[in-house]
């Protein structure tokens, strides 16, 4: 099992959390206090609308690339005052952590036991996670997506895409929602894509199915957690320029209404807003970040 070498020895530490029962100890919906406004009266909010995340612990998965969405998101959350943990499958995450002033962890997020160990390690080093960004799964140079027609797609390839892009979000969400519910506050943002929820191209059925599944998971979990002060949303990037972008993807970006691909920081801006207290009335939604490409009906030259 590959977990951050800096993680403290867990022998004799608090009992391992049971991630198979994330709702254990969950609070029910609080009863309205005496003198509370009726259904037709305005409700006064106690907390100011703010983007700040001062002191809150945020975990961003899939942040190993210095020019990727995960890294840009971790940087923005740190700028908002969060105490940031980042995780990827390789030890290069420690370089990224040093650059960001974050704490780095190494784990295979498709492995249930490693996700559980990660949850324990983050809690011991930083505290309980209150903000979770499930970014792991997007294709990179080290982990290319499968591009093959369904008739030629092997079952192992299908399962690999589903595990990498959907199961990671499920396992990580399940590991942390119990604690968020007990504290009565939390933010989860899942990385979907326009491929699957909005459109699709030939040869990407497995990836599209996984990302459509991310949106389904987002909406179902949002309804399960709504009484506990936890919001769950998805961000769906279109063509985003990174070091892993192919020439075909760059050309696709040039063909958008905006006339260029997006940047990781533009996606990170949307993610960080949904992670903030300012987004308290938004849950179960998918925010598309694609330069208007999915809106355009036809191209005119």
| pLDDT for position 201 | 86
Mean pLDDT of 173-196: 98
Rg (the chain; Cα; Å): 20
Q: Concatenated DSSP letters for the chain? A: ----TTSPP-TTSSPPP-TT-TTTT---PPPPPTT---TTS----SSPP----TT-EEEEES--STTSHHHHHHHHHHHTT-EEEEEESSTTHHHHHHHHT-EEEE--TTSHHHHHHHHHHHHHHT----EEEE-TTS--SSSPPP---GGG--HHHHHHHHIIIIIHHHHHHHHHHHHHHHHT-EEEEEE--SBTTTB--TT-HHHHHHHHHHHHHHHHHHHHHGGGTEEEEEEEE-SB--TT--HHHHHHHHTSTTSS-B-HHHHHHHHHHHHSGGGTT--S-EEEESTTTTT------
* Domains of the chain with bracketed CATH: 57-289 (3.40.50.720)
> Does 250 have pLDDT greater than 70?
yes
Q: Of 71-85, 107-121, 145-159, 182-196, where does mean pLDDT reach its minimum? A: 145-159
| pLDDT for position 54 | 97
> Does 138 have pLDDT greater than 80?
no
| pLDDT for position 3 | 58
207 in active site: yes
What mean pLDDT is reported for the chain?
87
Query: Per-residue pLDDT tens for 44-76?
Result: 555 568 999 999 999 999 999 999 999 999 999
Q: Is residue 233 within 8 Å of 284, Cβ to Cβ?
A: yes
Max mean pLDDT among 11-15, 37-41, 64-68 falls in 64-68
Dist CA 51 CA 82 (whole Å): 11
| pLDDT for position 172 | 98
Query: Per-residue pLDDT tens for 89-135?
Result: 999 999 999 999 999 999 999 999 999 999 999 999 999 999 999 99
> Does 189 have pLDDT greater than 90?
yes
> Does 2 have pLDDT greater than 80?
no
| pLDDT for position 29 | 45
> Of 71, 155, 207, 241, which one is the catalytic site residue?
207
């Amino acid at each position: 099992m590959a977990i951050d070498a800096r993680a403290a020895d867990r022998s004799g530490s608090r009992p391992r959390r049971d991630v198979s029962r994330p709702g254990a100890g969950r609070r029910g919906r609080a009863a309205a206090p005496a003198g509370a406004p009726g259904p037709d009266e305005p409700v006064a909010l106690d907390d100011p609308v703010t983007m700040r995340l001062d002191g809150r612990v945020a975990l961003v998965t899939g942040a190993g690339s210095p020019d990727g969405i995960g890294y840009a998101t971790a940087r923005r959350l740190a700028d908002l005052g969060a105490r940031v943990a980042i995780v990827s499958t390789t030890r290069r995450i420690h370089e990224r952590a040093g650059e960001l002033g974050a704490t780095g962890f190494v784990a295979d997020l498709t492995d249930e036991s490693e996700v559980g160990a990660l949850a324990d390690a983050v809690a011991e080093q930083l505290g309980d996670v209150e903000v979770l960004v499930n970014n792991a799964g997007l294709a990179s140079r080290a982990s290319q997506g499968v591009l093959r027609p369904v008739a030629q797609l092997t079952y192992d390839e299908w399962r690999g895409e589903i595990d990498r892009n959907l199961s990671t979000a499920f396992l990580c969400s399940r590991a942390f929602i119990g604690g968020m519910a007990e504290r009565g506050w939390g933010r989860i943002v899942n990385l979907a894509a326009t491929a699957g929820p909005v459109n699709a191209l030939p040869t990407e059925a497995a990836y599209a199915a996984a990302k459509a599944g991310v949106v389904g998971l987002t909406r179902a979990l949002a309804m399960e957690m709504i009484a506990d002060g936890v919001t769950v949303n998805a961000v769906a990037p279109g063509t985003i320029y990174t070091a892993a972008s192919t020439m075909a993807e760059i050309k696709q970006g040039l063909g958008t209404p905006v006339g260029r691909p997006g940047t990781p920081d533009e996606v990170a801006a949307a993610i960080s807003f949904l992670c903030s207290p300012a987004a308290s009335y938004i849950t179960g939604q998918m925010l598309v970040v694609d330069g208007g490409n999915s809106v355009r009906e036809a191209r005119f030259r």
